Amino acid sequence: MIRWFIFVVGYVALSFYVLQALKTITKQPWWSWIYIAISLVVMLNFIYQFSIGEETGRVLSISKSYAFGFLLTMLTFNIITIIFLFSEDMYRFISGVYQKMYGEGKEFGLPARRRFLSLLALGVAAIPFGALLYGMYKGKYNFKVLRYNLEFDDLPDSFDGYQITQISDIHSGSFDDRKMIEYGVDLINKQKSDILLFTGDMVNNMTSEMEPWAELFSTLEAKDGKFSVLGNHDYGDYIPWETEELKHQNLEDLKVLQKQMGFDLLLNEHRYLQKGDDKIALVGVENWGKGGFKKAGDLKKAASQIKENDFKILMSHDPSHWEMEVIKDAYHYHLTLSGHTHGMQFGIEIPGWIKWSPVKWRYPYWAGIYKEMGQFINVNRGFGFLGYPGRVGIWPEITVITLKKKALT
């Protein structure tokens, strides 16, 4: 109860401060009333969803996600506005003290100056405010096809030009627009790749989240098959279960459902992809993540029946596995495919110029292609979304990778 009291007091104080900026720039009271109404609705909805709303657990439901998203949008608007206004108020306060102490006759804090700063503050704050709303309305389904050509000295000749489509982090429990998901699935199929690889997190918590979408995702196709691995969310670790048996059964049900959808789920095991006399090893591990994430992945077990000189593609959900274990392994894994980070669903990307997201402070390898010790990794930005029900700057991704035999020089 105390935490809600602190939250309400803090939120109201921020909103009241911003309200003064609105009153400074216009004499029309209806702007203030609109702002007050929106602020109250956002606050009350957040309190309702997170106090007496449905379901518990560390992963947000759709309704809780939107409550959080709208609160985040309002707080961002308020805080940016206050940064401008508070700096001006501090300047006026210090100047006033100086004037009183030293008897200077200089005028500070003119109304015109205050109005200009209020306009500037609200204008700047409106940019992330609009971006966050766009991210919830459109950005989360702004699917992008990203293409890469990767060259290898030892790629088997028959696989020169072999095309892989990778998707990751479906998070079906967050979906709220069937038409857009159908568009995304159709876009995957339009790539007409040789193989489709899914690198984990099909659900947020429970197998039942995927059941309404299973028939649609069953239409995904690739001539050499569809393969998958598990991500950290697939184990059901983020909600309470009445018994361990129910939690275990949920995971088993997900494995069965993936099979029914046509995916060959690799659980610390491998498959060989064959073209004529040539072959490459496809290795799939269960989730392995640094920190508090599940470490069910067993790279040694998964590769126990392949040869050291095989060309290898590894599917491992969390890129920290590549960083901590894979690139240091005795075996050379030519290409690793991961996901997990979502690119934090927020950042700035201008190809060839800038690629930034706060998630880089936790994951050095957080989106796109990286190369270390002669080994590549692609970190997919994710097909779905989680928590904040949107994406800003880091769009949902369908990766298409073409393997190329490096020409002799």
Same domain as 366, residue 238: yes
The model's pLDDT over 163-218, given as tens digits with 9 standing for 90+, comes to 999 999 999 999 999 999 999 999 999 999 999 999 999 999 999 999 999 999 99
Same domain as 246, residue 192: yes
Domain count, the chain: 2
The model's pLDDT over 84-119, given as tens digits with 9 standing for 90+, comes to 777 666 656 666 665 667 665 554 445 666 677 778
Question: How are the residues of the chain apportioned to helix, strand and coil, as percentages rounded to the nearest 5?
Answer: 45, 20, 35
For 405, counting Cβ atoms within 10 Å of its Cβ (0-12 exposed, 13-18 middle, 19+ buried), the class is: middle
Same domain as 322, residue 189: yes
Same domain as 261, residue 240: yes
Same domain as 202, residue 120: no
Print the domain residue range for 207: 143-405
Same domain as 133, residue 104: yes
Q: Residues with Cβ < 8 Å from 2, sequence gap 6 or more?
A: none
Same domain as 269, residue 177: yes
Residue 86, pLDDT score: 73
Domain boundary among 82, 115, 138: 138
Same domain as 217, residue 148: yes
Strand order in the sheet with 278-284: 269-275, 278-284, 312-315, 335-338, 375-379, 368-372
Domain boundary among 123, 138, 153: 138
The model's pLDDT over 302-344, given as tens digits with 9 standing for 90+, comes to 999 999 999 999 999 999 999 999 999 999 999 999 999 999 9
Same domain as 388, residue 258: yes
What is the model's pTM? Answer: 0.91
Same domain as 147, residue 134: no
Any idea what the CATH number is for the domain that residue 229 is in?
A: 3.60.21.10
CA distance linking residue 112 with residue 143, whole number of Å = 45
Q: Which amino acid is at 60?
A: L
133, 73 contact by CB (below 8 A): yes
- Region 157-165 average pLDDT: 97
Domain boundary among 138, 166, 198: 138
